[in-house]
Structure 1
Amino acid sequence: MQDKDLHHKTLNKALKPISAMRPATLDKLEKAVLLLFSNHDPTEVSMIKIARTANMSLKTLYNYFGDKQTIIYTILNRVLGRLAVRMIDHLQGIDSVRDRLRKTLWVFFDFIDKSPDAMMVLSTAVPASRYREIAIYDNKELVDSFMQVLGDGQQQGILNDTVPLFVLFDVFIAFISRLGLMHIIRKNPDSLNENFDGLFTILWRAISNPEID
């Protein structure tokens, strides 16, 4: 009840910009959010529990975020933002469509292996219909970089060009998401990249031009 009452009192107040929060405090919040939402149903996690786990005041959380969904989206955007920077960096200087796709998949798998909690939160705490609440999903530089790889593949006749470009993108992301989530749920002791060549072969056969294969 206290959680809900404070929420109503602060709804109409202007939120402080996240840039005003100390990096160390934001780091603690990130760890708390990933820990809580990867191990509990989102309905079981209250603002009070987040505040206690992050060793922050409840008032501070409301002042910066307003509600727990905004906290989730903000933290995931922070985590995925680091992935985006790494992804864009790794795509530089690689000419071959196949090699660029290999590198993209490797970076995604490495992220999942090193950040399983973030993958769980993204998969279980955010409805698909709300993905666009995470700002990184509209990161033009990242999306354009990846879509260019797929577009180049279609134009060169390397990738399947009988379906729209966005279908190849959806297949690629669905492949990564499902494999990553089940890898974590099954508690597979091996890293995803230990089986990289075999997994990439499956993905490549799914999106490459069948006439070439």
Structure 2
Amino acid sequence: MTETRPTPRGTSASRHAGSRGACERIEAAALALFAERPAEQVRLNEIAAAAGASLATIYRHYDDKQALLEVCLLRWADTLANRMLEHLQAVHTYRERLHKTFWVVLDFFETYPEVAAMLLSSVYPQAMRRHTTDTQKHLTRLLTGVLADGQAAGLLNQRVSESVLLDYFYGVLARLVQMQPLRHGEPRLTDQHEELFDMLWRALAEPDRGV
């Protein structure tokens, strides 16, 4: 009868922790390089060297460079979505909910400018639409509901759908965030958020109700 050697206690957890640590280093290195230049100009062996990992380790966790880019994007998008949901819990009026969301996004990208740089240099709209997490879907439903309720209350433009209003809202935010690294982060968007949001609110509001 063949003897089965017992697995040492904690071995599986240690391997899991080691894999998680390797992924964190790889994704941090990838983020830094994707922020510097377009993804197609970044080689996987550069990422491996920056992360102190082997190519074999990268391929063990990611199918290819595009998969690694999308994982980086999804992790940061999920972090942002969670932060937005957390801040929205204590806000009740339509205007203030949108204003709080607007500020949280600006603050997030000022805190993590490398993520904004990655979005500008390496992420294309089709890549952002391919995958979404449950948290991101929940946030989209919540904000779409806020916009629909604002329309029903006569505060927001009723001539377009709530989905178009959401696209408009995110479109303005995306442009501000993506252009900020090119302006070297000055002046800070969070320092101007009151005026910037007021301009956006006027664009979304039902005529004669936005002032």
Q: TM-score, normalised by structure 1?
A: 0.85
Name which of structure 1's ranges 125-134 and 73-82 shifts more when overlaid on structure 2. 125-134
| 1:155-166 equivalences in 2 (<5 Å) | 155-166=152-163
The CA deviation at 1:120 is 2.1
Q: How big is the shift at 1:33?
A: 1.5
* Matched-pair contact (CA < 8 Å) for 1:73–1:133: no
Q: Does 1:140 align with 2:137?
A: yes
Of 98, 115, 121, which aligns to 2:112? 115
User: What secondary structure is seen at the aligned counterpart in 1 of 2:85?
Assistant: helix
1:173 to 165, 170, 173: 170
Partner of 2:62: 65
The alignment-based identity, stated in percent, is: 34
1:134 & 1:119 partners in 2: Cα distance? 19
Measure how far apart 1:95 and its partner are. Answer: 1.3
Q: In angstroms, what is the RMSD of aligned CA positions?
A: 1.8
The one-letter code matched in structure 1 to 2:86 is D
> What corresponds to 2:121 in structure 1?
124
Match of 2:71 among 71, 74, 79: 74
Residue 46 of structure 1 pairs with residue 64 of structure 2: no
Where do 5+ consecutive residues of structure 1 fail to align?
A: 1-18
Which of 28, 33, 46 is equivalent to 2:25?
28
Q: Among 179, 194, 205, which residue is 2:202 paired with?
A: 205
| C-alpha separation in 1, matches of 2:185 and 2:91 | 31
1:138 positional shift:
7.8
Shift of 1:20: 7.5
Letter paired with 1:84: A
Q: What are the Cα deviations for residues 11-68 of structure 1, in whole angstroms up to 9, with x where unaligned? A: xxxxxxxx88633323222321121011112221011111111111100111111100
Checking the alignment, whether the CA contact within 8 Å between 2:99 and 2:197 is kept in structure 1 is yes
2:8 equivalent in structure 1: none
For the pair shown, which has the larger CA radius of gyration, 1 or 2?
2
Give yes or no for the alignment of 1:87 onto 2:84.
yes
Structure 1 residue 169: deviation in Å? 0.7
Matching residue of 2:5: none
- In the alignment, is residue 55 of structure 1 matched against residue 71 of structure 2? no
The answer for the alignment partner of 1:152 in structure 2 is 149
Answer whether contact 2:84 2:101 (CA < 8 A) is retained.
yes
Moved over 4 A (4+): none
Change in CA separation of 1:140 and 1:188 when aligned onto 2, cut-off 3 Å: closer
